[in-house]
Amino acid sequence: MKPPDPSSTVPTPREPPRNERAAALLAGGGTTGPLSREQIAQIVAAKRELAPILKGQKVAQRTAGGLISAGILTAILAFFGTFSITALVMGLWMIVAGFIEHWQGQHIHYLKPEAFTILIRNQLLLGAMFVILGLWWMLEVRWGWMSATEKKEIQSVITAMSSVGGGAGEVRSLITSIEYIAYGSIVILGLCGQGWLSFYYWQRRNLLKKYLVGTPEWIISLQRHDTV
């Protein structure tokens, strides 16, 4: 069998190493050739400084998954269980907030402070929704503003528990306490959970702004192109 002619063989394209790709990008800024040791040291230092900022992306992605999952479950229970418009609103809001979290979390990778700004607002609005709905449900329990279906279900629970022991008043008091604890937990979640996340994103936004000011533009360009 005759061996193939080397001159007729088409070479397989090879992706240039990171150092060459970085040099190619730098060529537009007047820097050519492979990176010097000093430039590599600058990149390493910049990546070390950037690491805690990019952790915000992982936090946003995990938060997005939790919000979407919890929102879907809440919406299903609100729609197919004891139908509640307010609970359905909460579930849908959580789903939308989760998608915003996921979308803006991806923009953090491109070093955009605006992404953190949107994440902060998203968490503040979500927290406000938790607080408002939690307080509203507590007022419903306090003043009896529940729907006829909810009142009927609570009464059936009271009747069932009273039949196995305990007075109706004691059972009603127990159910009311449980409702207050559940709705109060939602208020605390909005204040502490979403408040902490908003503060976390605010810190990361400030770090990113400081990083963009103090880091050479050519390094930022490389990082935004995912070259280093």
Domain ranges of the chain: 35-148+164-224
> b/e string for 118-128 if b means 16 or more Cβ within 10 A?
bbbebbbbbbe
Count other Cβ atoms within 10 Å, centred on residue 171. Answer: 19
Are 208 and 116 a contacting pair, CB within 8 Å?
yes
Q: Residue 181's pLDDT is what?
A: 92
- Between CA 37 and CA 47 the distance in angstroms is 15
Query: Mean pLDDT: which of 78-82, 148-152, 163-167 is highest?
Result: 78-82
- Between CA 49 and CA 37 the distance in angstroms is 18
Q: What is the pLDDT of residues 200-215, one digit of tens each?
A: 999 999 999 999 999 9
For residue 3, is pLDDT > 70?
A: no
Q: What is the pLDDT of residues 154-201, one digit of tens each?
A: 556 556 656 656 566 666 777 778 888 999 999 999 999 999 999 999
Are 154 and 176 a contacting pair, CB within 8 Å?
no
The pLDDT mean for the chain works out to: 81
Q: Does residue 30 or residue 217 have the better pLDDT?
A: 217
62-85 mean pLDDT: 90
Q: Does residue 91 or residue 9 have the better pLDDT?
A: 91
For residue 147, is pLDDT > 70?
A: no
Q: What is the pLDDT of residues 47-59, one digit of tens each?
A: 999 999 999 999 9
> b/e string for 33-44 if b means 16 or more Cβ within 10 A?
eebeeebeebbe
- Between CA 57 and CA 21 the distance in angstroms is 25
CB neighbour list of residue 10: distance below 8 Å, 6 or more residues apart:
none
- Between CA 192 and CA 134 the distance in angstroms is 14
- Between CA 93 and CA 124 the distance in angstroms is 13
